[in-house]
Chain A
Amino acid sequence: MLTVDAIDTYYGEFQALEGVSLKVEKGQTVIVVGPNGAGKSTLLKTILGLQKARTGSIKFQDEEISGLAPHKVVERGISMVPEGGRVFPELSVQDNLRVGSYNPVARPNAQRQMEQIFSLFPILSDRKRQAAGSLSGGERQMLAIARSLMSCPKLIMLDEPSLGLAPLVVNMVFDFIQQMKKEGYAILLVEQNANKALKVADYAYLVESGKLVYEGDRDSFDKNPYIKTAYLGL
């Protein structure tokens, strides 16, 4: 479904990604783990078109999307949950969701989708007229996830959804990712919390300093001695 092939991404002269390749198949949950600053967020931004890859190709459903503007990528069915549950703080919860359905593909279904989301997240329904900035960290993360569902995506990319959240809330977020997985969404999840992320993963990549250093299914990740000590704390 998504094939990233040998992309290089730069911030000015600084190279953030070096020859990174990965694949997400239909309905699959793929995780990218690695330390802070390894280029995990840059990877998602490059796929979405917020950053340009200098070389390499990104194909989504057999179509080259590398170099497309973000709104074109979103239209094709990729949505992103930004780091830290970045919502529009001064917009109401309802308006935040509505922005998610801005693209012309999603707009006709916006009303139905919003009702579905409200039944899924009753807390958002209770607060729909409240400014998003007044929500708690966990609620904001929920809203950011719900907002990404509004665009009728085929692939959802999540950038560090557990960052800065209390352990109980982190569990809630991962329960929800599990649920999205069951509903058949393809998921590309970027996380520092490798323990949690591996539990939902079908396939995993390890990124360090902008380079892919290891990939494999959940079992091979669990068993790899380096990953065990460096990332799983076992």
Chain B
Amino acid sequence: MLEELLMAFINGILLGGVLALLAFGLNLIFGVVKIIHMAYGQFVMLGFYFIYYFHTAWHMPLLVAMGAGIVVMGLLGMLVQLLIINPLLNAPRLNQLLALASLIIVLENLAQVIWGADYRGIPISMPIIQFGDIFIRSSYLLAFLGAIATLGILYLFLHKTYFGLAIRSVAQDVEIAKGMGINPKVIYYITLAAGGALTGVVAAFFIPIYTVHPHFGASFTLMAFVIVVFGGMGNLMGGFISAFIIGVVTSITAVLTSTEVADILALVMFILMMMVRPQGILGAKA
């Protein structure tokens, strides 16, 4: 039992890394564009399908297919900015939320029309690593390490480049940023492209772990949203920490009870957080 719990803990941490990546993207978009990308998990689903399609139908080598999938998802992010967010930039928040929520339905049905309702995946067998009585799936470990490396690259992008600087200043004070010669529209496109590409990265790490179907994204949208609110909306560090908390709690609960109870617990934590500390663990009081 102790080994099982320890393994669940480790898996929670490993999964938490990937969730942190997802939360980072959602947080970045919220922080900069002040919009909640409700269809973020569905983007992961699309990314998964694209990589699958590029690999099986166009016979691209897997790594090339993953790269292409990441690029396509970045472009799709920009398309969402162009077609949905730009026209609604000054609209009431509820309208923005509903428009992006309806994107969920559009994307899920589009996936069903194009790829059908069957479960699809790319069979890759990756070894299981053993430490004494502890077994770790190398696919999880790879996803975790990749996610941490991606977060590191994002950190450098945000802190060492002019675009990153512009993104951070637009997030803090868009009017003053304009006065500094920054065109926020350009920054929004870059942010959505980065956020979109991130879903491609997450999808690539999920390839050896999951199979995809049109409703694959729903749970990730929910998970990312729970994590981001839990950590404090727009707070990148809060999202990072809460990704691991949520990852570990759901993973251990799933071992002790079942995955359904784990999902319920995550949502109960979310609701409690909304009641007790709506600004999240690291969010500033509004």
Contacts and interface: CB of A to CB of B under 8 A. Distances in A.
A173 B178 CA distance: 24
B181 interface: yes
Chain B interface mostly: helix
Nearest to B179: A80
B166 interface: yes
A88 B91 CA distance: 26
B183 A69 contact: yes
Contacts of A90: 168, 172
Interface string B25-37: 0000000000000
Interface in B151-183: 162, 165-166, 168-169, 172-173, 175-183
Given A50-B175, A71-B178, A89-B172, A99 B165 contact: yes
B175 A99 contact: no
Given A100-B180, A102-B182, A151-B181, A86 B168 contact: no
A99 B177 contact: yes
A70 interface: yes
A75 B180 CA distance: 9
Most buried by A among B165, B175, B180: B180
Interface in B173-201: 173, 175-183
A95 interface: yes
Interface string A87-105: 1111100010011101100
A155 interface: no
Nearest to A133: B172
A98 B176 CA distance: 14
Interface string A141-168: 0000001000100000000000000000
Contact of B179 (A50, A91, A106, A107): A50
A71 B176 contact: no
Contacts of B172: 88-91
Nearest to B175: A50
A229 B113 CA distance: 77
A103 B168 contact: no
A82 interface: yes
Interface in A60-118: 69-71, 74-75, 79-80, 82, 86-91, 95, 98-100, 102-103, 106-107
Nearest to B163: A102
Interface residues of A, number: 26
B176 A70 contact: no
Interface residues of B, number: 16
Interface in A33-79: 48, 50, 69-71, 74-75, 79
Contacts of A102: 162, 165-166, 180-182
A50 B184 CA distance: 12
B90 to A, nearest CB: 13
B183 A86 contact: no
A147 B180 CA distance: 9
Contacts of B175: 50
A48 B180 CA distance: 10
Contacts of B176: 82, 86-88
A71 B170 CA distance: 13
Contact of A82 (B162, B179, B181): B179
B180 A151 contact: yes
A98 B161 CA distance: 10
Nearest to B168: A91
Interface in B182-224: 182-183
Nearest to A147: B180
Contacts of A95: 165, 168
A200 B178 CA distance: 28
A50 B178 contact: yes
Most buried by B among A48, A71, A74: A71
Given A88-B168, A91-B168, A107-B162, A99 B173 contact: no
Interface in A109-144: none
A80 to B, nearest CB: 5
Contacts of B173: 86, 88
A86 B176 CA distance: 8
Contacts of A86: 173, 176
A70 B179 CA distance: 6
Given A88-B173, A90-B172, A70 B165 contact: no
What are the 9 tightest A-B residue pairs by CB atom distance, in nearest-first order? Answer: A74-B181, A103-B181, A70-B178, A71-B183, A71-B181, A88-B172, A99-B169, A99-B180, A80-B179
7 contacts: A48-B179, A82-B176, A88-B172, A91-B169, A99-B166, A99-B177, A151-B181
Given A70-B181, A91-B168, A99-B180, 9 more contacts: A71-B182, A86-B176, A89-B172, A99-B169, A102-B165, A102-B166, A102-B180, A103-B180, A107-B162
